[in-house]
């Protein structure tokens, strides 16, 4: 009998090969991907729930390739606000892995987030620093049932891996230079302290 559609692939090696195939397809089929962006997004969201380091690095490569080569054309033609729901969802799927125990995974996540935030997802900086309006308390948080807010940028600024801290400073510099003006106006104050902190490294 065929396996159920919801059954997870148990072999890590197969899952690694699957995300590498997805990354290769995204790389080779860039002009043809626009009608299939929801499917590519579903692959990224599904694979981002994996715990295997190599799978996570592979899915970050898919997201980075998409953000470098496919989404910028959409931003240019339709505007960042049109792409923002898509790119923000990808950021949310990957951001939790910035606390992964393997430094190469954290570095791969940064490599994916760096271009994703430039694709209309500049407001996701608020997710990266765990910020929200003081008078805006989610119901679950009010009753003590919400997950704690995490300042991922603070964690990255004191990361034990030099390579991760280097990628972090590079990403900050890219965001400060290239993020669209509307988002930069709001987010610059949240990014600049970590960029300046790099001087003390």
Say yes or no to pLDDT of 1 above 50.
Answer: no
Q: What is the pLDDT of residues 93-148, one digit of tens each?
A: 999 999 999 999 999 999 999 999 999 888 889 889 886 656 655 666 656 665 66
Q: What is the pLDDT of residues 39-69, one digit of tens each?
A: 999 999 999 999 999 999 999 999 999 999 9
How is residue 74 written in tokens? Answer: 């959409």
pLDDT score for 30:
81
Which is higher by pLDDT, 183 or 148?
Answer: 183
How is residue 25 written in tokens? Answer: 């397809």
How far apart (Å, rounded) are the C-alpha atoms in residues 7 and 153? 35
Say yes or no to pLDDT of 2 above 50.
Answer: no
C-alpha torsion sign, points 70, 62, 27, 30: negative
Separation of CA 149 from chain center? 17
Round the CA-based radius of gyration of the chain to a whole number and report it. Answer: 17
Helices (H), 48-180: 53-69, 71-78, 80-95, 103-116, 125-129, 139-142, 152-157, 162-178
H or E element that contains 79: none
């Amino acid at each position: 009998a065929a396996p159920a559609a919801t059954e997870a692939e148990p072999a890590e090696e197969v899952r690694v090969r699957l995300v590498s195939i997805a990354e290769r397809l995204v790389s080779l089929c860039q002009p043809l991907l626009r009608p299939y962006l929801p499917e590519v997004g579903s692959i990224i969201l599904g694979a981002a729930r994996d715990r295997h380091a190599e799978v996570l690095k592979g899915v970050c490569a898919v997201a980075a390739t998409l953000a470098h080569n496919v989404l910028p054309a959409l931003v240019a033609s339709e505007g960042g606000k049109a792409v923002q729901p898509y790119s923000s969802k990808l950021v949310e799927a990957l951001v939790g892995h910035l606390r992964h125990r393997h430094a190469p995974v954290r570095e791969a996540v940064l490599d994916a987030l760096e271009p994703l935030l430039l694709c209309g997802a500049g407001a996701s900086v608020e997710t990266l620093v765990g910020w929200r309006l003081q008078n805006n308390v989610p119901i679950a948080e009010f009753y003590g049932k919400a997950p704690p807010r995490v300042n991922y940028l603070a964690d990255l600024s004191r990361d034990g891996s030099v390579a991760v801290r280097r990628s972090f400073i590079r990403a900050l510099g890219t965001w400060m230079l290239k993020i669209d003006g509307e988002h930069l106006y709001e987010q610059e104050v949240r990014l600049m302290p970590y960029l300046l902190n790099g001087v003390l490294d």
